[in-house]
Amino acid sequence: MCHFLAIAVAGLSCGLPFGFPFGFSFGFTRSLPAAGPAAPQARDARPSTPSMPSTPNLVVIYCDDMGWGDAPGFAVAGFEPPAYTREMPNLARLAREGAAFRHYYSAQPVCSASRAALLTGCYPNRIGIHGALFPDAKTGIAAEERTLAELLRASGYATGIFGKWHLGAQEEFNPTRHGFDEFYGIPYSNDMWPARIGRQHPELPLYDGLRVAELVRTMEDQGALTAKLTRRATAFIRARAAERRPFFAYIPHPQPHAPIAAGAGFTPASREALYASVMREIDWSVGEILAALDDAGVARETIVLFTSDNGPWLSFGSDAGSSGGLREGKGTTFEGGVREPCLLRWPGVVPAGAVSDVPWMSIDLLATVAAVVGAPPPAADRPIDGRDARAVWSCAPGAKPTQDAFYFYYHANHLEGVRMGRWKLSLPRKSRTLDGRPGGTGGGEAAYIERAVPLALFDLERDPAESQDVKDAHPEVLAELMRHVERARADLGDALVGREGAGRRACGRSGSGHGAAARE
């Protein structure tokens, strides 16, 4: 399923617990050194060449509400991509120098839950995070969960987040309390300010560590964020590279989440063209990051992952992105809500120019990185859901999806869908839709309606838009998927059928806490 050139790979495994021996070589342009679990490198002993790929730098660029169809090369057959996807030279460069994963998933189609999965390797409902945490939320990520930043810091990495956190706004949930050395960014979404959700909420703070550095009060302030975050991220990259210290730079852009805003130099020709300008500025930011890696001489020893937290916020219409022909968008577990554009560059490991249709999910990132750096396994009482994705990343022939089944939960704990291979089971529920009506214009929002959707089986290979229920033609597939549903319900629960689940853990609660304020 990897459309590239033949790659000779030996010793690959898939779906094993991380930490297993892993050595392979490519048969085309270069050979790789073995990447077995290795002791963390001392901070001052890091080689400057990729001869020790067990400590690659990691850069994760995580957009907010960017659709699957918002990056070049992501569209179902016959769908006309937005014009701005042809004006993204830096994303095109990432695709050329790395691989495009067309069946990469976010774990949930909403901000906080999506980020919880990315940073812990767990389904967010396993660790008690759901929805989007509001400024008054007294909950956040539990101190006992191991974040990707904590894992890498324990392996000698410098860690920085430059952008939107959204895993708890109280001080005990600050990123600097969860593994990040540096935090420069906003604690929650860019629409959680008085201009949109009312005067009862505080001004939007821009943090520098534990301190509020300034307030984001105007759309001009919002428009300046992308450049400010990019400058801090590139400064961090250059400084850590100069110290020859491995680093993890997490760059979760607040854009293109509404209200959209572009910075100086990206003023659109018209209000209708603002979304395109925002996307072009994000592309510019990617170029700045890639240039910083080049200038510092660390591009070949750095993993760069570019993706988004969930699909487009379609009710904003002209201010929302494109799902590329997939069904629906943010706030739904149809493909347009949870499938995200994914570009991954890791010279010598990820074949340049490859396009892969092998599914993997954000929950797999932590397990994969843990395998690369040889991190200890998770605590016995804190199992994670992710699997080592290196076989998928390297586009190994015959590489299987990282998971036997991918589960799509939404709301507090609703199991809405399961993907197994080419098949996706859509479970009965209510799901929001514009029902064919256009979204808003100029920053206005059209109203969704809630519509009951029935049990359905979709063949994503033949029907990526999830338009034709084929369960009657494939009863054996339906039966196997229902066995996965039962496994998920026993472990993670399913509020749609009144199941609690034995494997769920509590989120963190602030000392002054009185309940969650998470909404979808």
Active site residue 111: yes
Name the nearest CA neighbour of 337 among 477, 466, 183: 466
Q: For Ca ion, which is the closer residue by CB, 64 or 319?
A: 64
Q: For Ca ion, which is the closer residue by CB, 50 or 341?
A: 341
Element (H, E) at 479: helix 475-492
Q: Which of 1, 35, 56, 65 binds Ca ion (CB under 5 A)?
A: 65
Distance between first and last Cα of the chain = 35
Q: For Ca ion, which is the closer residue by CB, 309 or 459?
A: 309
What's the half-sphere exposure (Cβ side, CA atoms, 13 Å) at 174? 17
Element (H, E) at 426: strand 423-426
Binding mask 267-306 for Ca ion (x = CB under 5 A): ----------------------------------------
Q: How far is CA 99 from CA 23, 72, 218, 387, in A?
A: 20, 12, 38, 19
Angle between helices 274-295 and 89-97 (to 10 degrees): 50
Q: For Ca ion, which is the closer residue by CB, 54 or 189?
A: 189
Please report how close the Cβ of residue 134 comes to Ca ion at its closest, in angstroms. 14
Find the part of the chain contacting Ca ion (CB under 5 A) among 174-182, 242-250, 307-315, 473-481: 307-315
Q: Which of 59, 64, 348, 518 binds Ca ion (CB under 5 A)?
A: 64
Q: How far is CA 482 from CA 52, 424, 428, in A?
A: 44, 11, 13
309 sits near Ca ion (criterion: CB under 5 A):
yes
Please report how close the Cβ of residue 253 comes to Ca ion at its closest, in angstroms. 10
Neighbours of 104 (CB within 10 A): 27
Find the part of the chain contacting Ca ion (CB under 5 A) among 10-18, 203-211, 276-284, 309-317: 309-317
Binding mask 16-55 for Ca ion (x = CB under 5 A): ----------------------------------------
| Tokens linked to 244 | 């020859």
Q: Single out the catalytic residue among 2, 111, 342, 507.
A: 111
Active site residue 395: no
Q: For Ca ion, which is the closer residue by CB, 310 or 333?
A: 310
DSSP 389-425: -HHHHTT-TTPPPSSS-EEEEETTTEEEEEEETTEEE
Find the part of the chain contacting Ca ion (CB under 5 A) among 107-115, 271-279, 288-296, 387-395: 107-115
Please report how close the Cβ of residue 317 comes to Ca ion at its closest, in angstroms. 17
Q: For Ca ion, which is the closer residue by CB, 170 or 310?
A: 310
Q: Are 170 and 510 in contact (CB under 8 A)?
A: yes
| Dihedral (Cα; 280, 286, 292, 297), 10-degree rounding | -130
Q: What is the DSSP letter of 512?
A: T
User: Nearest residue to Ca ion, using CB?
Assistant: 111
310 sits near Ca ion (criterion: CB under 5 A):
yes
Distance CA 152, CA 373 (A): 8
Q: Which of 111, 129, 261, 427 binds Ca ion (CB under 5 A)?
A: 111
Q: Number of residues in contact with Ca ion, rule: CB under 5 A? A: 5
Please report how close the Cβ of residue 373 comes to Ca ion at its closest, in angstroms. 28
Residues that bind Ca ion (CB under 5 A): 64-65, 111, 309-310
Q: Give catalytic residue positions.
A: 111, 166
